[in-house]
Amino acid sequence: MEIQQSTPLSKPTILLISSDTRTILAQQWEKVQQKFNILIYDCNSVEEFCKRLSPGGVYSKIDAIVRTGWLKAEPYSTHLLFTTAVAKHYPSSLKLIVCSGHGYDAADVDTLTEMGIWYCNTPDTCTEAVANTALYLILSAYRYFTFAERCARNDWALSRSLGMKAVDPLGTTLGIVGLGDIGARIARKAALGLGMKLCYYNRKRDVERERQVGVEISYCPSLAELLETSDCVVLACPYTPATHHMLSTKEFELAKEGGMRVVNIARGRLIDEAALLQALRDQKVVGVGLDVHENEPGINDEWAGNYMATVLPHIGVCSRTSWDGFEKVCWDNAEAFFETGKPLTPVNSIA
């Protein structure tokens, strides 16, 4: 469907891609409609999008793309629009892409940089929502609340089998892989709310993040040291080719006597799930909490009937606080770019 524009062509043209799950900040929305010509994305497929980008197409003169709302919600959750294969169709006028969320592994940032296109995410906008989800998964990995809830609904007496399995996290060590905004918030909540000791692994020590946590946290110079130290491990790091299956068989072999607990709120492919399931059978891992999965959407069939593990459908971000943050930072980036030539939260750098 062609979108007819009656606004002056001197305004930058922005293609807006939004999901059904999005908040609109009325004052900001009114302002950006005055500043920009806004085209609404309504393609049925990525192929249709590419055709509209071609010379003479309805998207052939766009200056920027803003993708806001919950990326995992419909109707465009499967539309991967920032890959190298799609980018070759972009018009030369396109100089900025802003996409909601903390992660950016679905975008080929190197390709975009080579093309002279700024790419921005929205850091620290869903920190609270994801950190709260992590806290729930940590507690469930110790207390097996998913199993207990199933018992409450189906077999009350079976819940008594938890008697010698469930423990509290108080005094145990939480190891956080990735002490960014979310990792630091998880650390603080776990220490102050659950009484856990803390350690973390980054590629290098981050003293400023340690200060932000506000309680004692020790740095592990290697992933192996963190795994040998921790009773529960939380993955809060980006997914890259280098972090693919960062937890697999040899890593689970490093668990303390009595086993480790594993929580993942980052990206599913950080964990080799076949190895994780085997580690559970071998009691190298004794508790699991997953918001993300290796082959989502959907979960491994072995998790479906395993109520001793807590599994969520990638909803850690799912809160109105996140949608408000996404919306504000997306449009703040667009406004800053067209006013100053540089966006506020770029992932890359354009000379």
> Does residue 172 share a domain with residue 85?
no
> Does residue 39 share a domain with residue 158?
no
Domain with 81 in it: 13-125+320-340
Rounded to an integer, what distance in angstroms lies between the CA atom of residue 275 and that of residue 215? 33
Decide: helix, strand or coil at residue 312.
Answer: coil
Confirm if 96 and 343 have CB atoms less than 8 A apart: yes
- For 117, 241, 259, 276, the CA distances from 141, given in Å and listed in that order, are 42, 28, 12, 14
* pLDDT of amino acid 9: 55
pLDDT 10s digits, 63-99: 999 999 999 999 999 999 999 999 999 999 999 999 9
Closest by CA position to 64, among listed 113, 120, 8: 120
Confirm if 316 and 268 have CB atoms less than 8 A apart: no
Please indicate whether residue 160 is annotated as part of the active site.
no
> Does residue 94 share a domain with residue 220?
no
- For 42, 97, 127, 242, 267, the CA distances from 326, given in Å and listed in that order, are 20, 14, 11, 28, 19
> Does residue 158 share a domain with residue 284?
yes
* pLDDT of amino acid 351: 86
pLDDT 10s digits, 106-161: 999 999 999 999 999 999 999 999 999 999 999 999 999 999 999 999 999 999 99
| 346, part of any domain | no
Rounded to an integer, what distance in angstroms lies between the CA atom of residue 118 and that of residue 346? 7
Pair of tokens at residue 258: 């009595």
| 61, part of any domain | yes
| 5, part of any domain | no
* pLDDT of amino acid 10: 80
Q: Is the pLDDT of residue 2 over 50?
A: no
Closest by CA position to 55, among listed 102, 91, 105, 8: 91
b/e map 276-294, b = 16+ CB within 10 Å: bbebbeeebbbbbbbbbbb
Please indicate whether residue 153 is annotated as part of the active site.
no
> Does residue 132 share a domain with residue 247?
yes
| Candidate list 128, 149, 225, 296, residue with the active-site label | 296
State the DSSP string of 220-275.
Answer: -SSHHHHHHH-SEEEE-S---GGGTT-BSHHHHTTPPTT-EEEEE-S-GGGB-HHH
| Candidate list 52, 267, 269, 293, residue with the active-site label | 267
Confirm if 337 and 96 have CB atoms less than 8 A apart: yes
- Give me the residue label for tokens 């580690």: 279
| Candidate list 52, 102, 261, 314, residue with the active-site label | 314
Q: How many residues does the chain have?
A: 351
> Does residue 329 share a domain with residue 274?
no
Please indicate whether residue 314 is annotated as part of the active site.
yes
> Does residue 257 share a domain with residue 162?
yes
> Does residue 207 share a domain with residue 330?
no
Residue 3's φ and ψ, nearest 5 degrees, are: -100, 120
| 1, part of any domain | no
> Does residue 152 share a domain with residue 50?
no
Rounded to an integer, what distance in angstroms lies between the CA atom of residue 191 and that of residue 291? 21
Question: CB neighbours (10 Å) of residue 71?
Answer: 20
Q: Specify which residues 289 forms β-bridges with.
A: 263, 310
Number of domains in the chain: 2
* pLDDT of amino acid 1: 34
| 117, part of any domain | yes
What's the whole-number average pLDDT of the chain? 95
